[in-house]
Copies of this chain bind each other. A is one copy, B any other.
Amino acid sequence: MNNLAQVHQLNPYAIQLCATGRWIAQRHWVPATGGNFSIRSSAQSCLVTASGKDKGELSPADLLQVDFDEISFSCQGKPSAETALHCALYRHYPDAKAVLHTHSVQATVFSRLISQPQYCFDGYEMQKAIQGIQSHQQALLLPVLDNTQDMAALAAKVTQLAGTQTLPYAFLVRGHGLYVWGDSLEQCKRHLEAWEFLIACELERIKICGLV
C-alpha cells in the first residue's frame, strides 16, 4: 500500500503506463509475460515493470522504483531482468521519459533475417512518425544487436552505439524484440506503433521480393 501510494506520488503516468500495457497486450506484442516497460520518475530514477508479470494486467503496484547512477542501479523487489538496459537509455538520453520493450512475432522474425548490424528504412511516409523526421526520404537506420543474457554487456553496447550515432528512438535485439523510447509516454507509444508498422511492412515486402 505504501509502495502504491509512493508510486502515484512519484509519477502520475504510472496508471497511464498500465493502460498502455493493456493496449500493447491486445496487439499480442508482449506474449507469455514477455517484454517490459518503464517511465522516468526523476533525473536518476525510473519505474520498471516487475519481473514475470502479465503485461496486459499491470497495476501501479507492479511498477518498481529503480534508482540509478552512472554505473549501477538498485531496486527493492525484483524488477525486469532487462532493467540495466532501461537505465542505460535514461542515462544517455536526459529527455527520455518512457521505454517500451516488446516481443512481437514480426520484430522477432525480422531481427533474425538481418545479419548486418543495422537495417535501412526508406520511402515510407510512416517514418515521419519518428520524432524529428520530416520526409519519407529521410532514411532511418535501425540497429540490430546480437542477443545475450549478459544485460550489463548489452547495456554497454547500447550506450556505446548511442554515443557514436543518432539512434531512431529504437533498436532491435536479434531473436528477442524491439526497444523504443520517447520524450513522453505518448511519443514513445507512437514510436512503438510506427516501428512495428515499418517492420511489418518490410517483412511483407521481403516475403515477396526477398532480402536485398
Contacts and interface: CB of A to CB of B under 8 A. Distances in A.
A209 B207 CA distance: 9
A176 B112 contact: no
A136 interface: yes
How many copies of this chain?
4
Interface stretch (A8-16, A39-47, A85-93, A193-201): A193-201
Given A197-B32, A201-B109, A103 B123 contact: no
Nearest to A204: B109
A179 to B, nearest CB: 12
Contacts of A174: 123
Contact of A194 (B32, B149, B203): B32
Given A134-B149, A176-B136, A129 B33 contact: yes
Given A125-B175, A175-B123, A177-B125, A197 B136 contact: no
Nearest to A191: B32
A126 B207 contact: no
A63 to B, nearest CB: 20
Contacts of A125: 34, 103, 108, 147, 173, 175-177
Contacts of A103: 125-126, 197
A126 B34 contact: yes
Interface string A96-123: 0000000101101100110000000001
Max count, chain B CB within 10 A of own CB: residue among A32, A193, A204: A32
Interface in A174-212: 174-177, 190-191, 193-194, 196-197, 200-201, 203-211
A194 B103 CA distance: 11
Contacts of A196: 31
27 contacts: A27-B28, A31-B126, A31-B197, A32-B129, A32-B193, A34-B129, A103-B126, A103-B197, A105-B197, A106-B204, A108-B125, A108-B126, A109-B204, A109-B205, A113-B208, A113-B209, A123-B174, A125-B175, A136-B147, A136-B149, A136-B175, A136-B176, A137-B149, A203-B204, A206-B208, A208-B210, A208-B211
